[in-house]
Amino acid sequence: MKIAILSDIHGNFYAFDAVLKQIVKKNIDLYFFLGDQLGYYYDAEAVYDKISELNCHIIAGNHERIFLKYLKADSSYRAMINKKYGSSFFKYAENFPARLTEFVSTLPNKKEVFIDGYRFLLCHGAPQDMDQYIYPDADSEVLEQVDADNYDFIFNGHTHYPMIYVGSKTSLINVGSVGQSRTVGGVANWGIFNTKNGLYEPQNTLYDIKGLENSLDPNEKDYLFSILRRNNNII
């Protein structure tokens, strides 16, 4: 079985659509979505609608939890979120159909999946805390905690940096970000796991970054587009 693993799409349907077009050539059987399907960019409804057509396991990220809190929050919290992430959460709150909000509310923080003899854990940040970042230069103590978990592979995202850590018991694989890579802007990072041979292959997909830029509201375009430049260059 070939599994496509995606994380941190962040409402960037330009990137997601490019990945899906590449996936057509890969004979994928199953999808894992590791959270933060929304946030920052505006096309989260299209992202979720497409995901609903796929054979997949999906979990929440911190941005799904922010969205649910935003719906019930006072004006000061909403203003803080709008300043940090742009107007995407406001747009979602105004425009998401009830069925989609309900779907987001049902997503688990993590999920165990057992396939072809492999024990997988899907999580967004760290196994014990979706908000914890595990960067490629993480301390050995953090990685040793991961290695103590009772899984063959843990797949996560959150940092937007791809990484692979092979422990004595457990391998941790961060697939990076589809919608907001911290390595190269304009490139979607994701990966494929093959249960026949136990191999993981990182994937990088170019997408229409100009289309994304042109889709942004003029009063926040510079800010939201600058996030794609954070710590990297633009293709």
Mean pLDDT score, 113-136: 97
- Determine how many CB atoms are found less than 10 A away from the CB of residue 182: 19
Query: pLDDT at residue 35 above 90?
Result: yes
Q: Any idea what DSSP says for residue 126? A: B
CB contact set of 71 (below 8 Å; sequence gap of 6+): 93, 101
Query: pLDDT at residue 7 above 80?
Result: yes
For residue 34, the model assigns a pLDDT of 99
The rounded mean pLDDT for the chain is 96
Among 115-119, 167-171, 181-185, the least confident range: 181-185
Among 19-28, 57-66, 141-150, 176-185, the least confident range: 141-150
Query: pLDDT at residue 188 above 70?
Result: yes
For residue 2, the cross-strand partners are 194
For residue 235, the model assigns a pLDDT of 63
For residue 232, the model assigns a pLDDT of 73
Q: How far apart are CA 169 and CA 208, in angstroms?
A: 40
Residues 183/175, Cβ–Cβ less than 8 Å = no
| HSE (side-chain half, CA atoms, 13 Å) at 19 | 30
| Percentage above 70 pLDDT, the chain | 98
Angle between helices 44-51 and 98-106 (to 10 degrees): 70
For residue 20, the model assigns a pLDDT of 98
> For residue 205, what are its two tokens?
């997909």
Residue 66's nearest CA partner among 95, 46, 52, 86 is 86
Number of helices and strands in the chain (H, E): 9, 12
Q: Cα dist. 65→38, 98, 104, 179, 234 in Å?
A: 10, 16, 9, 18, 29
Mean pLDDT score, 81-107: 98
Mean pLDDT score, 65-89: 98
Residues 165/141, Cβ–Cβ less than 8 Å = no
Question: How many domains does the chain divide into?
Answer: 1
Query: pLDDT at residue 102 above 70?
Result: yes
Q: How far apart are CA 156 and CA 217, in angstroms?
A: 31
Mean pLDDT score, 100-117: 98
Per DSSP, the residues of 47-78 read HHHHHTTS-EEE---HHHHHHHHHHH--HHHH
For residue 30, the model assigns a pLDDT of 99
CATH, residue 46? 3.60.21.10
66 pLDDT band, cuts 50/70/90, is: very high
Question: Structure pTM?
Answer: 0.97
148 pLDDT band, cuts 50/70/90, is: confident
For residue 185, the model assigns a pLDDT of 85
For residue 211, the enclosing domain spans: 2-234
